[in-house]
Amino acid sequence: MDRTPPRQRARDIGHWLPDRHTATRTARVVLAAVSAWLAHRAASKGAALSFYMLFSLAPVLVLVISIAGIFFGAEAARGEIFAQIDGLVGAQGAAAIQEILAATHRSGGGRLAAAIATGILFVGATSAFAELKGSLDEIWETPAPQGAGWQQLLRARLLSFSLVLVLAFMLLVSLIVNAALAVVDRFWGQMWTQSWFAPVADVLSTAFSFGVVTLLFAVIFKMLPNARIAWRDVVMGAIITALLFSVGKRLIGLYLGNSAVASSYGAAGSVVALMLWVYYSAQIFFFGAELTRQYALQFGSLRGQSISPPPDPRAAGPANR
């Protein structure tokens, strides 16, 4: 029996609870992130990113399917990608991506056309990530790197291409996990579905999907910006962003499914639905990046540094808009 005095027990419990000072700083982080999100014009950045993503999506998926197809076959990789996309953007967005990929595979030509298409594939696949890198550099308010322009351009493209490889690796891991679950279900059948471990496996599968999204955000936050960001700040920001994304994607799906925004565009409705999904998801991502920076300034590796106010977007030049 615990004979600790009630007042002492209250102090012990209170040690593990956030104090008033921590709660105040947390609220300050959120408010500062909202202010910086508005000042950095995240709405405009999301519009630009959705435009770039529309033209980069087919090259990115072609490269990812080609790399993952080496190990599992192109059809298996394509089926897994469409299953993941359908769960993210819904049937309309998945249909738009299928049409884009089908048009890409229908285009043919000789060796010269194939060589040109390969170059366009590389540039197109990295354009959206290059735009994302510029947005994150502005969010972290990093100075422009020194060096020749073509060197910085090449570095940005290679860095963006490395993220495409990361996406391919994550697709491989997802294929391996799903293949293992399919094998178990095929051999054990009804015994598997009625066993106690089946719901546990569903929970583990959901946790795995959340972990993959968190890892992707962590890699983007760590690799893309020119700023030096500690891993503890990156991991915390990635977890928060993944939580926001998990909730936000359901709300976005409900909005697109119950509104007539996409259907009012007729034949182009699926493409519009895809662009709207990218746009709203970009707002969540940029807000997560702002939270990551403010967390680093208030609690993380940048704690104690002076926090400069966000730049006034009206004073920015045309190149920064």
Higher pLDDT, 30 or 203: 30
| 159: pLDDT strictly greater than 80 | no
The answer to whether residue 321 sits within a structural domain is no
> Contact, 246 vs 210, CB < 8 A?
yes
The answer to whether residue 317 sits within a structural domain is no
Written as one letter, the residue type at 159 is: L
Could you write out the DSSP letters of every residue in 123-157?
A: HHHHHHHHHHHHHHHHHTTPPPPPS-HHHHHHHHH
The answer to whether residue 189 sits within a structural domain is yes
d(CA 94, CA 51): 17
| 205: pLDDT strictly greater than 80 | no
d(CA 315, CA 321): 10
Q: What is the pLDDT of residue 314?
A: 47
| 233: pLDDT strictly greater than 80 | yes
The answer to whether residue 315 sits within a structural domain is no
| 16: pLDDT strictly greater than 50 | no
Average pLDDT over all residues of the chain:
72
Q: What is the pLDDT of residue 320?
A: 43
Mean pLDDT across the stretch 134-141? 87
Residue 9 pLDDT grade (very low, low, confident, very high; cuts 50, 70, 90): very low
Residue positions counted in the chain:
321
Over the stretch 270-285, which tens digit does the pLDDT of each residue have?
A: 777 778 888 888 899 9
The answer to whether residue 22 sits within a structural domain is no
Q: What is the pLDDT of residue 180?
A: 66
Over the stretch 167-177, which tens digit does the pLDDT of each residue have?
A: 666 666 666 66
The answer to whether residue 8 sits within a structural domain is no
Number of domains in the chain: 1
The answer to whether residue 33 sits within a structural domain is no
The answer to whether residue 134 sits within a structural domain is yes
Which alpha helices (H) appear in the chain, and where do they start and end?
Answer: 6-16, 20-39, 42-72, 74-106, 111-139, 149-188, 190-194, 197-223, 231-258, 269-298
Lowest-confidence pick of 96-105, 143-152, 273-282? 143-152
Higher pLDDT, 42 or 186: 42
Mean pLDDT across the stretch 81-108? 68
Q: Which domain holds residue 136?
A: 39-304
Q: What is the pLDDT of residue 287?
A: 93
